[in-house]
Amino acid sequence: MNLIDLTLTEALEQLRTKKISATELTRAYLDRTKKFGAELNCYITITPERALADAAESDKRYANDTARMLEGIPLGMKDLFATRGIRTTAASKILENFVPEYESTISQKLADAGTILLGKTNLDEFAMGTFSKTSFFGAPVNPYQRNHKLTAGGSSGGSTSAVAGGLALIATGTDTGGSIRFPAAITGLVGMKPTYGLCSRWGCTAFASSLDTMGQIARTVDDATLMLSAMAGHDPKDSTSANFDFKIATTPLNLKGLKIGIIKELSDVKISDDMKNLFAARISDLKSLGAQIIEISIPNILDALAAYYIIAPAEASSNLARYDGMRYGIRETGHDLIDTYMKTRATGFGEEVQRRMIVGTAVLSSESYEVYFMQAARVRRMIADSFNLAFKQCDFIVCPSSSGPAMPLNSDLTPLEYYALDLFTVAMNLVGVPAASVPAGRSTDGLPLGIQVVGKMFDDARVLQMAKHIETFAGLDNRPTSVMGE
């Protein structure tokens, strides 16, 4: 079997039993990155020397029985996480040459668990986008049907392109409005937005602080579960991180007597026939295991998108104020200080980032604050209350991850049409609940589609257990060599 096709769980088993070495595994990934990296454009920066040095260290640890939880596992790190001594760009020109002197908590935890960093993955600039097209470094490409040049999604599109194509075994992502779940769904992967507060945000470039959620992208639910257990945990450096002990569930979830809610208001949303059919098929699969399907109501869920596109830009416009060209990042000299700021930020930020900052500033302006920002915050509360109420009636909520499969990168959509792609994912960020996208099957033309499992706050372990049932029924073959060849 090709080393690239091993799942995280399988690779760890082979490493532990010394059937393969971490160096062999890492080399296989580096070779594949050499072969397909430029075409997929999934990495902004690669770190092969460091990877091989770390792999040698992992092999030592396997030899002397000090191997850690994810020892020797090749990892892609979304280029939003600060990595000490390794360029961290947020896919923005303004940070093109920024080399952090500190390490984000999540990347540190994954390093402490023994992972091997292969490089920093591509994304939408400051994670703002759904196709990863706003990246200063060009868009990553979906490994499925490469000749069609489809999007790998966004904003964590470099991470999904890398994992789906076999250029990383697992990868980190961040999800502010769907940026892990949407790209994972259209690349045949498992992608999770854990409960807000489960994983530390410290050291990850801030976009919208009350929505930003660090999460994981992997090929299987078991892999995603293992990865999350290495990432979760309280961090004194992030006051919003929770003191919650994430524990992997060891037995399969018995669905008998469990209630799964279907959101009534989403039933009228136009989705592709394939998505509709796959969703119905997986629901009836879950029924066959004894789950009870009930209809629940989130009356304002279709307003979540507009509330999100007020709150997220508002928070972004204040978070991005720090990029002034004085202490780090690029500086464009103007005729005075103000002019230097104006030129630096006009040159350093791309169009979508500028658009959102202007919208964010507009909705926070004194004449609009009540009308837009506070109204959106009240709608957010109403949506959260509806989710709480729904979770009194059901254990999980299940819904599509997207309306359809990956679209061509050269699709010419208006800003609003791009925003609409987040329809199925933003509400969970507003509310904070955990949600995992899991492969549901393939569309008639062979492209993967995903379903989301949504749970109560901090019910992440059971969300993954439920996702595992869907994964088993879907039986999607997402081995990288079958997705895009040897």
Partner 1 sequence: MAYTKEQLQKFAKLIRIEISDEKLVEMRIDSIVDWIDKLQKIDTTGVEPMLTPVEHALPLRMDNVTDGDIRDAVLANTPDDSGKSRGYFAVPKVMDE
Residue choice 120, 133, 380, 462 for contact with partner 1 (CB under 8 A): 380
Q: Does 378 bind partner 1 (CB under 8 A)?
A: yes
Residue choice 248, 280, 281, 342 for contact with partner 1 (CB under 8 A): 342
Residues 178-237 that bind partner 1 (CB under 8 A): 196-197, 210, 236
Q: Which is nearer to partner 1, 61 or 331 (CB)?
A: 331
Residue choice 56, 271, 377, 413 for contact with partner 1 (CB under 8 A): 377
Q: Which is nearer to partner 1, 197 or 448 (CB)?
A: 197
Residue choice 336, 366, 445, 475 for contact with partner 1 (CB under 8 A): 336
Residue choice 42, 80, 242, 397 for contact with partner 1 (CB under 8 A): 242
Residue choice 184, 283, 431, 435 for contact with partner 1 (CB under 8 A): 431
Residues 397-416 that bind partner 1 (CB under 8 A): 414-416
The secondary structure of the chain, three-state, reads: CCHHHCCHHHHHHHHHCCCCCHHHHHHHHHHHHHHHHHHHCCEEEECHHHHHHHHHHHHHHHHCCCCCCCCCCEEEEECCECECCECCCCCCHHHCCCCCCCCCHHHHHHHHCCCEEEEEECCCHHHCCCCCCCCCCCCCECCCCHHHCEECCCCCHHHHHHHHHCCCCEEEEEECCCCCHHHHHCCCCEEEECCCCCECCCCECCCCCCCCEEEEEECCHHHHHHHHHHHECCCCCCCCCCCCCCCCCCCCCCCCCCEEEEEHHHCCCCCCHHHHHHHHHHHHHHHHCCCEEEEECCCCHHHHHHHHHHHHHHHHHHHHHHCCCCCCCCCCCCCCHHHHHHHHHHHHCCHHHHHHHHHHHHHHCCCCHHHHHHHHHHHHHHHHHHHHHHHHHCCEEEEECCCCCCCECCCCCCHHHHHHCCCCCHHHHHHCCCEEEEEEEECCCCCEEEEEEECCCCCHHHHHHHHHHHHHHHCCCCCHHHHHCC
Q: Which is nearer to partner 1, 272 or 354 (CB)?
A: 354
CA 94 from centre of chain: 23
Task: In whole angstroms, give the CA distance from residue 24 to residue 58.
Answer: 11
Q: Does 110 bind partner 1 (CB under 8 A)?
A: no
Q: Does 6 bind partner 1 (CB under 8 A)?
A: no
Q: Which is nearer to partner 1, 258 or 420 (CB)?
A: 420
CB of 7 to partner 1, least distance (A): 32
Q: Does 457 bind partner 1 (CB under 8 A)?
A: yes
Q: Does 309 bind partner 1 (CB under 8 A)?
A: yes
CB of 195 to partner 1, least distance (A): 8
- Site stretch for partner 1 (CB under 8 A), options 98-106, 172-180, 220-228, 444-452: 98-106
Q: Does 473 bind partner 1 (CB under 8 A)?
A: no
Positions marked catalytic: 78, 155, 179
Q: Does 389 bind partner 1 (CB under 8 A)?
A: no
CB of 151 to partner 1, least distance (A): 21
Residue choice 13, 31, 295, 351 for contact with partner 1 (CB under 8 A): 351
Residue choice 53, 249, 294, 326 for contact with partner 1 (CB under 8 A): 326
- Site stretch for partner 1 (CB under 8 A), options 148-156, 284-292, 349-357, 474-482: 349-357
Site string for partner 1, 268-307 (x = CB under 8 A): --------------------------------x--x--xx
